[in-house]
Homo-oligomer: A and B are copies of this chain.
Amino acid sequence: MTGVAEVYEPTERTTVNRYKTRANYDHVTIHGIIDSCPVLHVSFNPTSVDDDPFPTILPMIGCTGSYTSPNANETSAVSVYLHGHASSRFMKLPTVHSESDDTTYSNLPGTPVCIAATHMDGVVLALTPFNHSCNYRSAVVHGYASIVTDPAEKLYALRIMTDSLIPSRWDHCRVPPTPAELTATTVLRVEIIGASAKIRAGPPGNDRADLDDPAMRQRVWTGVVPSWVTWGTPVPAEENMVQTVPDYISEFVKGENEKGEGYATEITGKVLTSKK
Contacts and interface: CB of A to CB of B under 8 A. Distances in A.
Chain B CB within 10 Å, residue with most, of A113, A178, A236: A236
B203 A38 contact: no
B222 A231 contact: no
A138 B56 CA distance: 13
A30 to B, nearest CB: 14
Contacts of A46: 13
Contacts of A146: none
A5 interface: no
A140 interface: yes
A134 interface: yes
Contact of A128 (B56, B181, B235, B264): B181
A54 B13 contact: yes
B239 A231 contact: no
B224 A56 contact: no
Contacts of A45: 45, 53, 55
Contact of A173 (B105, B127, B184): B127
Contacts of A228: 229-230, 232
Interface string A151-193: 0000000110010011001101111011001001100000000
A175 B41 contact: no
Given A128-B175, A221-B242, A223-B236, 8 more contacts: A54-B114, A59-B118, A174-B216, A223-B235, A226-B231, A227-B232, A235-B271, A236-B271
